[in-house]
């Protein structure tokens, strides 16, 4: 049985350290989360972010906007927070309703306040090796790998999934640590065979328990980014945990793996955004 990478435990430690730093400040760092509509999962994630921010001692606000909000109204709202010096981090919860152009919205957030790291300027900086803000899920994965002293240099990494928020940036971060990275996706031929070549396997496909033991080399490090509800309504990852864990050297659980680390990195980047204003 592989070692379980305790994302929840590490996230708790990081949030405790942030709290200690915030206690010493004269002003509270501020985080605003913009939530459009009533997506049940998004509502839970946003609530968790609010709880984390309050626990650490941030000024925390959720702007709950109706699903009928127009793109122009959303852009106006973002601009108000761009101009508001009490808020150092602005985040728009994804996914957005279909009538809103996600690219336009992410471009509207000032890069210095883009604590999600999704603004094209922040993506460009990440790719060129001079990051300002890093997408929180990939950042959290890298912190977890570092905490457990998992060697990356010279290792073969396969990332299944090519999203802008996870697949592409984690591939960039692993490459920066000298891993040899392949990005695989729904059109990849012989996906299980490609995955099985990996020393480090990152799975971010959004299909419940799709990755079974046929995808995993003995001794591989398996990072499961998936967050799905199975037929019984239980939260499961993209990896069949019980089948894969005995093969892996390290593996993240779902829940309590990558998810809490995503939130911890959001808090870390909010404090850093605040510190840059001092
Ligand atoms: N603006 C953003 N939108 C979205 C992001 C993001 O990084 N920025 N990522 C995902 C959702 N997400 C953060 O928003 C997220 C999802 C889940 C968790 C988490 O802590 N999960 C827990 C379990 C939660 C539960 O019980 O449902 C866990 O894994 O232990 C954190 C962040 C899409 N949108």
262 ligand 1 Cβ < 6 A: yes
40 & 99 share domain: yes
Q: Is 93 a catalytic residue?
A: yes
> In CATH, what number is assigned to the domain containing residue 179?
3.40.50.720
Its pTM stands at 0.97
Strand-strand pairing, 235-236 and 228-229: antiparallel
Structural domains of the chain, count:
2
What does the pLDDT read at residue 216?
98
What does the pLDDT read at residue 1?
85
What does the pLDDT read at residue 15?
98
Q: Is 116 a catalytic residue?
A: yes
User: What pLDDT, in 10s, does the model give residues 150-197?
Assistant: 999 999 999 999 999 999 999 999 999 999 999 999 999 999 999 999
Q: Is 76 a catalytic residue?
A: no
Residues 6+ away with beta carbon under 8 Å from 130: none
* Residue 15 lies inside a defined structural domain of this protein: no
**Of 49, 113, 168, 177, which is the active-site residue?**
49
181 & 95 share domain: no
| Protein residue with its CA nearest to atom 11 in ligand 1 | 45
175 & 228 share domain: yes
Query: How distant is the alpha carbon of residue 181 from its chain centre?
Result: 19
- Answer for the pair 77, 63: CB distance below 8 angstroms, yes or no: yes
ipTM: 0.97
- Answer for the pair 100, 74: CB distance below 8 angstroms, yes or no: yes
Best mutation site among 227, 230, 233 for ligand 1 pocket (most ligand atoms within 8 Å of CB): 227
96 & 165 share domain: no
- Answer for the pair 194, 214: CB distance below 8 angstroms, yes or no: no
* Residue 124 lies inside a defined structural domain of this protein: no
Strand-strand pairing, 200-203 and 30-36: unpaired
* Domain assignment of residue 248, given as a range: 136-259
Listed as ranges, residues in the chain with pLDDT below 50 are: none
């Amino acid at each position: 049985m592989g070692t379980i990478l305790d994302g929840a435990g590490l996230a708790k430690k990081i949030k405790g350290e942030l709290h200690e730093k915030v206690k010493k400040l004269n002003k509270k760092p501020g985080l605003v989360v913009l939530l459009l509509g009533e997506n049940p999962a998004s509502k839970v994630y946003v609530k968790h972010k609010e709880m984390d921010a309050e626990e650490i001692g941030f000024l925390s606000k959720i702007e709950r906007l109706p699903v009928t909000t127009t793109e122009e109204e959303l852009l106006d709202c973002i601009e108000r927070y761009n101009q508001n010096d009490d808020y150092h981090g602005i985040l728009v919860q994804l996914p957005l309703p279909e009538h809103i152009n996600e690219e336009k919205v992410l471009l509207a957030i000032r890069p210095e306040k883009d604590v999600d790291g999704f603004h094209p300027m922040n993506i460009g900086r990440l790719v060129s090796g001079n990051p300002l803000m890093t997408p929180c899920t990939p950042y959290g994965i890298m912190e977890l790998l570092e905490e457990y002293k998992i060697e990356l240099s010279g290792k073969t990494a396969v990332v299944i999934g090519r999203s802008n928020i996870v697949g592409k940036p984690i591939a960039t971060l692993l490459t920066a640590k000298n891993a040899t990275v392949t990005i695989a996706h729904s059109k990849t031929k012989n996906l299980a065979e490609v995955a099985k070549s990996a020393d480090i396997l990152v799975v971010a496909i959004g299909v419940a328990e799709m990755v079974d033991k046929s995808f995993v080399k003995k001794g591989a490090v398996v990072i499961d980014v998936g967050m799905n509800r199975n037929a019984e309504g239980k939260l499961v990852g993209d990896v069949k945990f019980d089948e894969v864990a005995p093969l892996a050297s390290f593996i993240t659980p779902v829940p309590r793996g990558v998810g809490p680390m995503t939130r911890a990195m959001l808090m870390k980047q909010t404090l850093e955004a605040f510190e840059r204003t001092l």
